[in-house]
């Protein structure tokens, strides 16, 4: 008896084997872009609040590392700054004379700086410090303070969980 296998079935099987074996077809989505690694490291060192992997995880959750991302709410760039937050916390991280939320070399250190301010605002609250900072980044520090911790907002709770998960994924790379 002769078995005929379609090309489609062979390709599906190869794709499955490749994914299971981790041969890299989808791996790029699970890695920090190489050119941003020193930026995450530098920002984490400068402000000492989140680790490079945690900052990279935020960028992954916020924009999937897309520096041109714009949300329906008007948040912009790799770290998704709202214009009002950028006006208060945006830095010229690459020292080119312009603080631009669409430039990762400005946005990443700005996020680390902003989180250093958020850390101060939520320092008196009980709970995990990093989770409180992430919640404040997502929902705003007032929402976290009013809730006495991570607010019962589904999006915010999911955000904290996703960032922590991606940070674990990126910890070996950073």
Q: What is the CATH number of the domain that holds 109?
A: 1.10.530.10
Let me know if residue 17 belongs to a domain.
no
To the query of whether residue 62 is one of the catalytic residues in this protein, the response is: yes
Residue spans of the chain under pLDDT 50: 1-3, 10-11, 13-28
In a domain? residue 109:
yes
Name the residue with tokens 């709970």: 127
Q: For 120-134, how does the pLDDT look when each residue is reduced to its tens digit (9 = 90+)?
A: 999 999 999 999 999
Per the structure, how many domains does the chain have? Answer: 1
- pLDDT for res 17: 43
Give the pLDDT confidence score for residue 30 in this predicted structure.
Answer: 86
Q: Is residue 67 part of a domain?
A: yes
Structure tokens at 135: 């919640």
Q: In this structure, is residue 25 part of a structural domain?
A: no
Q: Which domain holds residue 129?
A: 32-170
Instruction: Give the pLDDT of residue 26.
Output: 43
Torsion of CA 166, 62, 81, 125, to 10 degrees: -50
Indicate whether 6 belongs to any domain. no
């Amino acid at each position: 008896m002769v078995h005929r296998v379609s090309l489609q079935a062979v390709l599906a099987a190869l794709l499955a084997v490749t994914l299971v074996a981790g041969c890299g077809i989808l791996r790029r989505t699970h890695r920090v872009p190489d050119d941003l690694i020193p930026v995450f490291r530098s920002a984490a060192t400068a402000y000492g609040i989140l680790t490079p992997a945690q900052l990279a995880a935020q960028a992954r959750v916020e924009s999937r590392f897309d520096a041109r991302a714009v949300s329906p709410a008007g948040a912009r760039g790799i770290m998704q700054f709202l214009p009002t937050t950028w006006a208060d916390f945006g830095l010229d991280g690459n020292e080119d004379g312009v603080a631009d939320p669409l430039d990762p070399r400005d946005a990443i250190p700005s996020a680390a700086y902003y989180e250093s301010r958020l850390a101060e605002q939520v320092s008196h609250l009980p709970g995990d410090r990093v989770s409180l900072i992430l919640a404040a980044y997502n929902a705003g520090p007032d929402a976290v303070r009013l809730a006495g911790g991570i607010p019962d907002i589904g999006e915010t709770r999911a955000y904290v969980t996703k960032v922590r998960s991606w940070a674990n994924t990126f910890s070996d790379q950073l």
